[in-house]
Structure 1
Amino acid sequence: MSTAAHSHPNFMSCLPIKSIFGSWRERESQQTNLMNVASRSSSLRSAFSYCVQQVRNYDYHNYLCLLELPPKMRKPAFALRAFNVETAKAMDIASDPKIGLMRLLWWQETIDKIYADKPVQQPVAEALSSVISEHKISKLWLKRSVEARIKDAQREASDIPETINELEQYAEDTQSTILYMSLQSGGIRSTEADHAASHIGKASGLLLLIRSLPYHAARHRHFAYIPSSIAAKHGLLINHRGRTEISMDSHGALCDAVLRWLPVANAHLQKARELAKTVPIEAVPVLLPAVPAQVLLDSLSRVKFDVLDPRLARGVLGVPPLWFQLKLKWYSWRGKY
């Protein structure tokens, strides 16, 4: 071996032991961090995929609306809609109303945890946490939405709303808030857009409550979503074992009662469209739920306001799916809602 080789000791022997193990630890730490990032990224992708599937399964007309959003706005919008699905169906899927209420209370606590940066192992909550962190979504709207659901879940069957204004407020708290947050996640700050979102949410909420009347009646909710002021005028209020309920026996009276709702929902849609010229163009895709609201309004008119007509359960809000999608595409292409 040459003298040069003898004159230079092994490179590793020149390094202090602490330095050697320190570099290994750094590399191991970096690898661990990369693995954690990859794992979180994979988990987040799964969470958003779950959100999309939930909206598709339980809120199909809004699923189609969200597909018309710009790509960068879809993820937060799907997370928010999935949250709405979770809270909306909490009472419906529970075998016991107490279990459904517990689920809503869990969501109320979960919102607090998310804003306190505490991890929650649930797909929709995970996606929501990411959206809130990235887009600074207002906690007020999320809390208002779930609290409205909790208040509704705590109602007795005989606790009937007195006026349609109470149902409008419920629609505002559960439907309009989703649109407010979707606008917020898209960085859209516009009073006009918020006003339009308020009217569209109210119209959508009122019409969906009408459409759900047969379902709630089948679950012995006694048509509790018909205001007592309207029910009384059409002879639908009865006294059953000392408790005031709404009867479903008079088919014609039920249709007449529903007819009283529709002008209110239609007025909200018209007010939203009157604002269209002042709404920023980037807000228009968020406001597309006005289209399915109009479709449902037209479907109810077509069956002469008979919520028990089986045609309302066909297709998308009572119309063929392809026709609905073409209508939605047409509005989206024209930049209208």
Structure 2
Amino acid sequence: MSGASSSLRAAFSHCVQQVRNYDYHHYLCLLELPPELRKTAFALRAFNVETSKAMDIASDPRIGLMRLVWWKEAIDKIYVRKQIEHPVAQALASVLSENKISKGWLKRSVEARINDANREISDIPEKIEDLEKYAEDTVSTLLYTTLQAGGIKSAAADHAASHIGKASGLLLLLKSLPYHASRNRHFSYIPAEVAANHGLLVKEGGRSEIHLDSREGLCDAVFEMASVANVHLLKARELSGAVPIEARPVLLESVPAQVLLDSLNRVQFDVFDPRLARGVLGVSPLWYHVKLKWYSWRGKY
């Protein structure tokens, strides 16, 4: 038994380290959770890290896709208590055995990433709503499962989580546009409708492409998408009076979304401005930490 417990401690330690290394702004959010919920939240967030970086770290897209399919199958195995030799899977199995967490939310997040990975380069989302759905499937689901793990049953909290997930997902897609552009996937995350509004959509050879020649057009497109994210944050906060106090630490993830939105505003929505890559989401780590602590101390999100 001591060997098993030692292995499990190592698995959870791995989860914490993965989140700290790859998702630092949310790592700090999770530290504000009650101790009894923190372990589960780190396992869930580490699972998200594994699936979100699957395509990025693969030398071949087919390998990244295989990794995502492996995780989809791993979820099924975990729910029937099959042993999997992977530290994140082991930690996830442990928390799922202790908490009632919907399998559907976990499967939905991986399936959304698989569908995204399967898209052809020429496939451009038509509307912002397509990216909002992707954000809900990959980000809001994390908040839903964390609320479930905390035994928090509140329609208002779920509704706020939906809005925060959509805002966070949209803003992180915007921040990652330079990275995706370097990997020839920038057009995947600017909807055709938005691109057309700002002169970025070009029709060549019977198909549409997005060109980023116009920095002004790109900034305007980013502003339009960021404005939608801002509306989601405002709607989430309008619900705060109905959200139970125990749910608010989970919803602290609105803070990094707001910080990123403010950083985008400061650089006039130029996602290629190097200031966005500095510190934590474009602000100093100290300022980010103080802001997060302030919201946490006041019981706000």
Pairwise TM-score range, normalised by the shorter structure: over 0.9
Q: Check if 1:66 corresponds to 2:34.
A: no
Q: Residue 236 of structure 2 is aligned with which of 272, 281, 284? A: 272
What is the 5 A alignment of 1:146-185?
146-185=110-149
State the SS of the aligned residue for 2:202: strand
* Partner residue in 2 for 1:202: 166
* Partner residue in 2 for 1:137: 101
Structure 2: segments with no counterpart, 5+ residues: none
d(CA) in 1 for partners of 2:118, 2:280: 31
Letter in 2 for 1:266: N
* Partner residue in 1 for 2:298: 334
* Partner residue in 2 for 1:299: 263
Aligned length: 301
Letter in 2 for 1:57: N
Deviation larger for 140-149 or 257-266:
257-266
What is the 5 A alignment of 1:235-314?
235-239=199-203, 243-314=207-278
User: Contact 2:178–2:186 at 8 Å: present in 1 too?
Assistant: no
Deviation per residue, 1:148-176 (Å, 9 max, x gap): 00000000111000000000000000000
Shift of residue 223, structure 1, vs aligned partner? 2.5
* Partner residue in 1 for 2:157: 193
Shift of residue 263, structure 1, vs aligned partner? 1.6
Superposed CA RMSD in Å reads 0.9
d(CA) in 2 for partners of 1:137, 1:297: 31
* Partner residue in 2 for 1:75: 39
* Partner residue in 2 for 1:29: none
User: Contact 2:180–2:186 at 8 Å: present in 1 too?
Assistant: yes
User: Contact 1:190–1:280 at 8 Å: present in 2 too?
Assistant: yes
Query: Moved runs in structure 1, 4+ residues, more than 6 A?
Result: none
Letter in 2 for 1:111: I
User: Contact 1:157–1:245 at 8 Å: present in 2 too?
Assistant: no
d(CA) in 1 for partners of 2:34, 2:252: 13
d(CA) in 2 for partners of 1:111, 1:214: 32
State the SS of the aligned residue for 1:238: strand
User: Contact 2:140–2:162 at 8 Å: present in 1 too?
Assistant: yes
In our comparison, the structure showing a higher alpha carbon Rg is 1
Deviation per residue, 1:230-263 (Å, 9 max, x gap): 1012111124565432111111110011111122
Q: Check if 1:211 corresponds to 2:187.
A: no
d(CA) in 2 for partners of 1:104, 1:245: 27
Letter in 1 for 2:260: L
Deviation per residue, 1:22-75 (Å, 9 max, x gap): xxxxxxxxxxxxxxx111111110000000000000000000000000111100
State the SS of the aligned residue for 1:224: helix
User: Contact 1:157–1:222 at 8 Å: present in 2 too?
Assistant: no
TM-score (norm 2): 0.98
d(CA) in 2 for partners of 1:296, 1:254: 17
d(CA) in 2 for partners of 1:78, 1:120: 18
Structure 1: segments with no counterpart, 5+ residues: 1-36
* Partner residue in 1 for 2:190: 226
Shift of residue 136, structure 1, vs aligned partner? 1.9
